[in-house]
């Protein structure tokens, strides 16, 4: 993948996020699903970036459907895309 960032200054930051990578280790796997599930049950709190990548369906909320889709992606049944 490649991209171009325009109008950036020295104090601008850029974050590249992988949809589904809740624990931010560069992979989408069961550890991400476990963490997202725990957050969905209010057992842990995710930061803003983690919440963004855990919201698989992009509706702005972390719900059971996000966990279901994340697990399906891990099993190779669906592809994740922004």
Tens of pLDDT, residues 49-64: 999 999 999 999 999 9
Tens of pLDDT, residues 18-51: 999 999 999 999 999 999 999 999 999 999 999 9
Tokens of 73: 């992606």
Alpha helices in 1-82 (DSSP H): 30-40, 48-54, 64-74
């Amino acid at each position: 993948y490649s991209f171009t960032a325009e109008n950036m200054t020295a104090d601008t930051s850029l974050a590249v996020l992988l949809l589904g990578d809740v624990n931010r280790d560069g992979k989408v796997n069961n550890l991400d699903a476990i963490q997202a599930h725990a957050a969905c049950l209010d057992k842990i709190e995710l930061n803003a970036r983690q919440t963004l990548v855990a919201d698989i369906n992009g509706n702005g909320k972390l719900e059971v459907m996000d966990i279901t889709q994340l697990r399906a992606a891990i099993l190779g049944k669906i592809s994740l895309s922004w």
